[in-house]
Amino acid sequence: MRAAHATSDAPPSAARVHVLVPVPLGEVYDYRLPEGCVARPGSFVSVPFGRRQMIGVVWDEQPSERPSPEESSLKEVTAELDCPAMPPGLRRLVDWVAGYTLSPRGAVLRMAMSVPKALEPPAPRIAYALGDRPAKRLTKARQRVLALAAEGPPRGLTELAREAAVGAGVVRGLAKAGALKILELPAARRFSAPDWRRAGATFSPEQAAAAVRLKDRAHQGGFATMLLDGVTGAGKTEVYLDAAAGALERGRQVLVLLPEIALGAQWLERFRRRFAVTPAEWHSDLGARQRRETWRAVATGEARVVVGARSGLFLPFAELGLIVVDEEHDAAFKQEDGVIYNARDMAIVRARLEDIPCVLVSATPSLETVVNVQQGRYERLHLPARHAGAALPEISAIDMRAENLASGSWLSGTLLDALVETLESGQQAMLFLNRRGYAPLTLCRTCGHRLYCPNCTSWLVEHRAFHHLQCHHCGHREALPERCPNCDGADSFAACGPGVERLAEEAGAKLPGARIAIAASDTLNGPKAAAALVRRILEEQVNLVIGTQILAKGHHFPMLTLVGVVDADLGLAGGDLRAAERTYQLLHQVAGRAGRGAHPGRVLLQTYMPDHPVMGALISGERDRFLEEEAAARRKLGLPPFGRLAGIIVSGVDEGAVATTARELARRAPRQDGLSVLGPAPAPLSRLGGRHRWRLLVKARKDVALQAALRHWLAETKPAHGVKLKVDIDPYSFL
């Protein structure tokens, strides 16, 4: 930290700065700059805040609607940190996200300075070189060290000791005697620059056309949003890596956002093949040190390409030249707690603020994006076919109404036959069921009592592998009780419905030749376990993968030729406005795992609704018609993307207080043309983590200033004691 009290002859009139601190407050605060301190907008400064000392950022504007405090009452900036200033693009993004999501600016700032330790300069490397004083007592060991120090570059303690085959004490002793001197070298670089000059893939004409367009854009700069639309395996990744090369050539940094679970070893390997180095990574699995080094390397410009999950959007790029959002339709880009935002949408905002292009990538683009293309706001680049003529898998439905399954089994005869055939021919299969654990519901056979989470309106899911029941909403765990808590019946519990564990049990019993692995987020805890499983599949130690969506994305298994979707209807229940769209996207993605190598693939969908438009679109491949029908239905109802929604979640421990606040909100709801408020009603998940929840849903025409109306309304309503209001702009979850 640089002391702010410098003895320069700066003018005596103290300058005043506005500082935003990372606490959930919207205001900036005024501070006096001590003489000689040249902190300017973006500078990280340490300031007294309440009774604490905090690090904040010098902000650009005047504090709004607050009288400027008297000069004499101003507190002084303590010090300016020795760290690159927060770039203007990121500062403007903080303001913008706060305004859009109705979050305090300080809460958004906290996401943009999530690694406080990175604000301190990295410790210098200590290295040893030959000193000025001759050493006394020249032992053999000492001679070896001095000989090395005389010829080679300065080296660290362990390195020098190892090379000279002596203990560290020998080196230290020589330094103490002055025969070696200690140097402080700048911290080592952690990230090498990607080599954009390397040739990429030899593109097909369609790929080349898309790549040229993207690369030109990235090379020129300037804001534009583009959709790279193409079936799985069409080479979209290959093409956008070429655009990244264009931005790198221009001396700019690149950010690639991916849903967390798609960010695996295979993607990194692709990048390394293209650019000869691995990119910087940004996700929840980084260690503290990696996090600190990466954040700082982005700020200093050492890291040129970052591939990250949604929070990568708030990294301090000073020279950002391109943002890619891969799997742009994925709901994982929506952050649902704290500041509720959609990283896909905010990536486009950042691109606009930085005046650079943003590329959205998907085989199943969201309806929002498709409509933006139709309305001319985004440019679409299309890759119509799989690379090298690989065929798309053939998709068909199994009508479960005709299959007469025995109770306790979930694999139809048709699917079992296909599995046997595939495994016998030495190929691999995947069974997809988006349900972790053994069974989603446990009930008492005697009295019908269901085992619920004590904190949530949610069934407890049995996980046999871990010998417990678990709540998938709050994480609560308990052992299966011996007696029913309701009727006291012993041994009366029955598992209802399948999870992946139970399915593996059935498949194991009915397919003797199967070498089964389960892939779910709880059985694969972390990227290392996932990478190990991917390897086992590639090496064909496993020939039947039974998994949730964790393996649905981004993986390329050449011998996998059959995908069985165990319950294709699973996502269609419930009141989610995107239920059909999301089911289509997910199943399409899962289907895309089949037949990516030399052998053609096929996909079987077990469904009780073979005539549902989602099944129809998957089977016929008529994605665009499906999207048109979806669009027509939503347009008629004024739902997104043709209208806007905001969820308001009222929660608290005291149910009465929650209901009172929710009703009070409804009573004061804005009466405004083009805006309506639905509710209040208890949320479908009416209790979560011990808090009761009520919801209101605001529906607005696109021309209504939704945020302004909400801000005004919510400012007027004081929640009851202990009750919290959460605003969810553009909600994805309606639970």
Shortest distance, position 236 Cβ to ligand ADP, whole Å: 3
230 belongs to the binding site for ligand ADP (CB under 6 A): yes
Letters for 537-556 (x = contact with ligand ADP by CB under 6 A, - = none) are: -------------------x
Nearest-approach distance from CB 521 to Zn ion, in angstroms: 17
Query: In the bound complex, what is the minimum distance in angstroms from residue 476's beta carbon to Zn ion?
Result: 4
Give whichever of 203 and 466 is closer to ligand ADP, judged by the CB atom. Answer: 203
- Residue 237 near ligand ADP by CB under 6 A: yes
Torsion of CA 332, 337, 342, 346, to 10 degrees: -130
Q: Which does 230 bind (CB under 5 to 8 A by kind): ligand ADP, Zn ion, none?
A: ligand ADP
CB of 199 to ligand ADP, least distance (A): 11
> What is residue 232's DSSP assignment?
T
Binding site partner of 466, from ligand ADP, Zn ion, none, Cβ cut-off 5-8 A by kind? none
Task: Give the C-alpha separation, 366 to 692, whole Å.
Answer: 32
- In the bound state with ligand ADP, the residue whose beta carbon lies nearer, of 563 and 650, is 563
Closer by beta carbon to ligand ADP, 177 or else 208: 208
Residue indicated by tokens 């010998």: 467
Residue 141 vs 471, nearer CB to Zn ion: 471
Give the nearest distance from C-beta 601 to ligand ADP in angstroms.
Answer: 14
598-620 b/e (C-beta count within 10 Å ≥ 16 → b): ebebbbbbbbebbebbbbbbbee
Residue 449 touches which of Zn ion, ligand ADP, none (CB < 5 to 8 A by kind)? none
The one-letter amino acid at 731: P
Q: Does residue 232 bind ligand ADP (CB under 6 A)? A: yes
Establish if 380 lies at the interface with ligand ADP (CB under 6 A): no
- Distance between CA 599 and CA 561 in Å, rounded? 7
Q: What share of the chain is helix, strand, coil (3-state, %, to 5)?
A: 35, 25, 40
Can residue 389 be called a binding residue for ligand ADP (CB under 6 A)?
no
387 is a site residue for ligand ADP (CB under 6 A): yes
To Zn ion, the closest distance from the beta carbon of 478 in angstroms equals 10
List, as own/partner pairs, every contact residues 670-673 make where C-beta atoms lie below 8 angstroms and the sequence separation is at least 24, other chains included. Answer: 670/709, 670/712, 670/713, 672/704, 672/709, 673/704
- Closest separation between CB of residue 270 and ligand ADP, Å? 7
Q: Which of the ranges 102-110, 201-209, 497-505, 714-722 carries the binding residues for ligand ADP, by CB under 6 A?
A: 201-209
Cα separation of 448 and 484, whole Å? 10
- The answer to whether 203 contacts ligand ADP (rule: CB under 6 A) is yes
Distance in Å, CB of 735 to Zn ion, minimum: 12
Question: Two tokens at 563?
Answer: 């995908």
Give strand pairing partners of 607.
399
Nearer to ligand ADP, 203 or 223 (CB): 203
Q: Examine residue 349 and tell whether it contacts ligand ADP (CB under 6 A).
A: no
**Interface with ligand ADP: number of residues (CB under 6 A):** 15
Question: What's the distance, CA 287 to chain centroid?
Answer: 16
What residues between 238 and 297 interact with ligand ADP by CB under 6 A? Answer: 238
Binder of residue 473, out of ligand ADP, Zn ion, none (CB less than 5 to 8 A by kind): Zn ion
Which residues sit at the interface with Zn ion, rule CB under 5 A?
453, 455-456, 471, 473-474, 476
Terminal-residue alpha carbon distance, the chain: 47
Among 236, 463, 502, 582, binds ligand ADP (CB under 6 A): 236
Residue 476 amino acid letter: H
Q: Which residues pair with residue 224 across a beta bridge?
A: 357
Nearest to 587 by CA among 324, 375, 393: 393
Question: Amino acid identity, residue 492?
Answer: S
- Structure tokens given for 135: 């050493």
| Shortest distance in whole angstroms from residue 586 CB to ligand ADP | 16
Task: Mark 1-22 as b/e (b = at least 16 C-beta within 10 Å).
Answer: beebeeeeeeeeebbebbbbbb
**Residue 56 gets which letter from DSSP?**
E
Q: How far is the CB of 471 from Zn ion (least distance, A)?
A: 3
64, 73, 202, 407: residue in contact with ligand ADP (rule CB under 6 A): 202
Dist. CA 172–CA 157, nearest whole Å: 8
The partner residues of 501 in beta bridges, in order of sequence, read: none
Choose which of 234, 247, 370, 524 interacts with ligand ADP (CB under 6 A): 234
Beta bridge partner(s), residue 565:
432, 605
Q: How big is the chain, counted in residues?
A: 735
C-alpha distance from residue 96 to each of 42, 363, 704, 726 (Å): 16, 30, 18, 18
Q: Is 599 in the site for ligand ADP (CB under 6 A)?
A: no
Instruction: With CA atoms as reference, report the closest residue to 455 among 141, 692, 679.
Output: 692
Q: Note whether 452 binds ligand ADP by CB under 6 A.
A: no
Residue 203 or 642 with smaller CB distance to ligand ADP:
203
Q: How far is the CB of 688 from Zn ion (least distance, A)?
A: 7
- Interacting residue ranges for ligand ADP, rule: CB under 6 A: 201-204, 207, 230, 232-238, 387, 556
